[in-house]
C-alpha cells in the first residue's frame, strides 16, 4: 500500500449507481489504494449521489453535510455531481472533487490530482462512457447476487424524468460483452444476475438498429447461472419474440418489472410516455396469457400536474383489475430541468399522499392473496442473510427482487449464497415464511 490514502465509498441511489460504485472500488483497489468500509478511518470519502427525485437529493445532501462536519475530504460522484456541479463546489468547501456520471472510470486519476493539491471538476457535458467486462469491479451485493448493466442512458424524454439529462442517450453493450461478464459473475459463484438499464426492452436498438433483447435472453440461457432476472421492461417492448425467448430460456425468470407510471391516456400523454395510451389496449392481458406464471411488478406516479379525481379513479380501477403481484407508488416530484416542472395545476402534497395511500391500501389485499397462494408449495429460495441471534435465514424466492419486493424468512440450515428448496408455511402482504426441505422434495 505504501503511502497511498485510504478511501471509503458511501453509496446512495439505484442499482445503476451501485454498479458505478463497484467499478470505482475495483479501479481503486487495482491501483493499490486501501479501501475501507469505515468512513471515519478513511482519508477520502467518495459519495456516489442520487438526484432522481427531491427525497433522494435530500438524503445525498444530508450525507455530504455530515461528512463535511466531520472534516472529511469528500469526492462527490454520481447523478447529483452531474446535475449541480458548480453549486456543489461553491456550497461545500470540503468537496475536493466532483465527478460526473460519464467519468467515474477516471476516479484513480481524480484522486491523484487531488493529492497534488488540485480541486478537480471532472464532468463530461454529455456522458458517453459505459463500463464493460474488462473494467475492474468489486461487488458490494450479497454473495449470491450480481447486477449486470446491459445499457446506459435513455432516448426517451418523459416529462417528469431528469435521467437522460444526467446519464445521456442510450448506449448498449454488445451481446458478447454482456455474456462475458455473466460468465465472470458465474465463476464468482453468483446465483442470480439482474439485468438493468433505463429501458431494458430497448436493449441493442442503438448499436444493432433494432432491439435485441430476445437474442440476449437466449445467449444468457447458455450461461451457468440458475436465475436471470430483468428490470425495467416497457410493455410495448415485450414482443412475441421476447416472450418466446423468456418461455424457452429455463434460467430466465418470468418476472416482469413494468414501469407503467399511470393508466389514463391523458396523463400518459402529458407525461410524454413512449407508448401513450397503449397500456389499456390489452397489452397486460396478452403478457399474462403468454406467460401464465409471470410475476408482474409495476411502479405508478400519483399527483402528476393536472391529475383529476377522474384520472385517479381510472388508475385505481386499473390497479384493481390487473392484480399486479407488486406495486410501488410514488408521489410526483417536480424536477427542475424537466418539462413537468413548469406545468400548471400542480397538486398539493397532502392530496398526493392521500392518493398514494389509497392505491397502497387497494393493493395490500391483492399482494396478500398472491403471497398466500404460495403457502404449502415448495419453492426455490436464494439464501442471502442469517440473523446471528436467532439463526433465522432470510432469502428471496423468484417472485421477489432485491430491495423492492418482499423476503422469505426461513428456518433450517443452508449456506449463504445458495438456492435451496423451502416449504412455505405462512404469508403476509409482503413476506413469506417457511422451512428448508432436506433430502428429496
Q: Cα–Cα distance between 311 and 269 in angstroms, integer?
A: 12
Provide the percentage of residues in the chain whose pLDDT is more than 70: 97
Q: Cα–Cα distance between 316 and 320 in angstroms, integer?
A: 6
> Phi and psi of 432, rounded to 5°?
-115, 155
Q: How confident is the model at residue 421 (pLDDT cuts 50, 70, 90)?
A: very high
User: Which has more confidence, 247 or 52?
Assistant: 247
Q: Cα–Cα distance between 427 and 431 in angstroms, integer?
A: 6
Q: Cα–Cα distance between 156 and 272 in angstroms, integer?
A: 9
Residue positions counted in the chain: 441
Q: Give the E-state strand segments of 306-373 in sequence order.
A: 326-331
Closest by CA to 404, choosing from 330, 322, 323, 303, is 330
Q: How confident is the model at residue 55 (pLDDT cuts 50, 70, 90)?
A: confident
Burial tier of 86 (Cβ tally within 10 Å: 0-12, 13-18, 19+): exposed
What pLDDT is attached to residue 276?
A: 56
Closest by CA to 374, choosing from 301, 432, 438, is 432
Domains of the chain: 6-122 (3.40.50.12160), 145-372 (3.80.30.20), 377-436 (2.40.50.140)
- Going by the annotation, the residues of the binding site for [4Fe-4S] cluster are 14, 50, 79, 154, 158, 161
CB of 189 closer than 8 Å to CB of 143:
yes
- If residue 109 lies in a helix (H) or strand (E), which one and from where to where? helix 107-115
Which string of DSSP letters, residue by residue, matches 295-308? EEEEEEEE--TT--
Q: Cα–Cα distance between 76 and 215 in angstroms, integer?
A: 38
- Going by the annotation, the residues of the binding site are 14, 50, 79, 154, 158, 161
Pairing of strands 34-35, 95-99: unpaired
What pLDDT is attached to residue 1?
A: 44
Across 49-78, average pLDDT: 80
Across 190-197, average pLDDT: 97
Mean pLDDT, the chain, rounded, equals: 91
Q: Is the pLDDT of residue 62 over 70?
A: yes
Burial tier of 187 (Cβ tally within 10 Å: 0-12, 13-18, 19+): exposed
User: Which has more confidence, 308 or 82?
Assistant: 308
The angle formed by the CA atoms of residues 345, 347 and 351, to the nearest 5 degrees, is: 150
CB of 105 closer than 8 Å to CB of 112:
no
Cα radius of gyration (the chain):
22
What pLDDT is attached to residue 250?
A: 96
Amino acid at each position: 500500500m505504501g503511502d497511498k490514502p485510504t478511501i471509503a465509498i458511501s453509496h446512495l441511489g439505484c442499482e445503476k449507481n451501485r454498479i458505478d460504485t463497484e467499478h470505482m472500488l475495483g479501479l481503486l483497489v487495482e491501483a493499490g489504494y486501501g479501501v475501507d468500509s469505515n468512513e471515519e478511518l478513511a482519508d477520502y470519502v467518495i459519495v456516489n449521489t442520487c438526484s432522481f427525485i427531491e427525497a433522494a437529493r435530500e438524503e445525498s445532501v444530508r450525507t455530504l453535510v455530515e461528512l463535511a462536519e466531520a472534516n472529511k475530504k469528500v469526492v462527490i460522484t454520481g447523478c447529483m455531481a452531474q446535475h449541480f456541479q458548480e453549486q456543489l463546489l461553491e456550497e461545500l468547501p470540503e468537496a475536493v472533487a466532483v465527478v460526473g456520471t460519464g467519468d467515474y472510470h477516471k476516479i484513480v486519476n481524480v484522486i491523484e490530482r487531488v493529492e497534488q493539491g488540485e480541486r478537480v471538476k471532472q464532468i463530461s457535458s454529455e456522458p458517453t462512457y459505459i463500463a464493460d467486462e474488462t473494467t475492474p469491479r468489486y461487488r458490494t451485493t450479497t454473495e449470491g447476487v450480481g447486477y449486470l448493466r446491459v445499457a446506459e442512458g435513455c432516448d426517451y424524454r418523459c416529462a417528469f424524468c431528469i435521467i437522460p439529462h444526467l446519464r445521456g442517450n442510450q448506449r448498449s453493450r454488445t451481446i458478447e460483452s454482456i455474456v462475458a461478464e455473466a460468465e465472470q459473475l458465474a465463476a464468482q459463484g453468483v446465483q442470480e444476475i439482474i439485468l438493468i438499464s433505463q429501458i431494458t426492452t430497448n436493449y441493442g436498438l442503438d448499436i444493432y438498429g433494432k432491439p435485441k433483447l430476445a437474442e440476449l435472453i437466449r445467449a444468457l440461457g447458455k450461461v451457468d447461472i440458475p436465475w436471470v432476472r430483468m428490470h425495467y421492461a416497457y410493455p410495448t417492448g415485450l414482443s412475441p419474440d421476447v416472450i418466446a425467448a423468456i418461455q424457452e430460456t429455463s434460467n430466465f425468470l418470468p418476472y416482469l418489472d413494468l414501469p407503467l407510471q399511470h393508466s389514463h391516456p391523458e396523463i400518459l400523454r402529458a407525461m410524454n410516455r413512449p407508448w401513450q395510451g397503449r397500456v389499456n389496449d390489452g397489452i397486460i392481458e396478452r403478457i399474462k396469457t403468454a406467460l401464465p406464471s409471470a410475476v408482474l411488478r409495476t411502479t405508478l406516479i400519483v399527483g402528476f400536474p393536472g391529475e383529476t379525481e377522474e384520472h385517479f379513479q381510472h388508475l385505481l380501477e386499473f390497479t384493481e383489475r390487473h392484480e399486479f403481484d407488486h406495486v410501488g407508488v410514488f408521489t410526483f416530484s417536480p424536477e427542475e430541468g424537466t418539462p413537468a416542472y413548469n406545468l400548471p395545476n400542480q397538486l398539493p402534497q397532502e392530496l398526493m399522499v392521500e392518493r398514494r395511500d389509497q392505491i397502497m391500501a387497494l393493493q395490500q389485499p391483492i399482494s396478500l392473496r398472491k403471497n398466500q397462494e404460495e403457502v404449502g408449495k415448495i419453492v426455490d429460495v436464494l439464501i442471502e442473510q442469517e440473523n446471528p441471534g436467532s439463526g433465522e435465514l432470510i432469502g428471496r424466492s423468484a417472485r421477489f427482487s432485491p430491495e423492492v419486493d418482499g423476503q422469505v424468512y426461513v428456518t433450517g440450515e443452508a449456506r449463504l449464497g445458495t438456492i435451496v428448496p423451502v416449504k412455505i408455511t405462512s404469508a403476509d402482504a409482503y413476506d413469506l415464511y417457511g422451512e428448508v426441505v432436506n433430502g428429496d422434495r
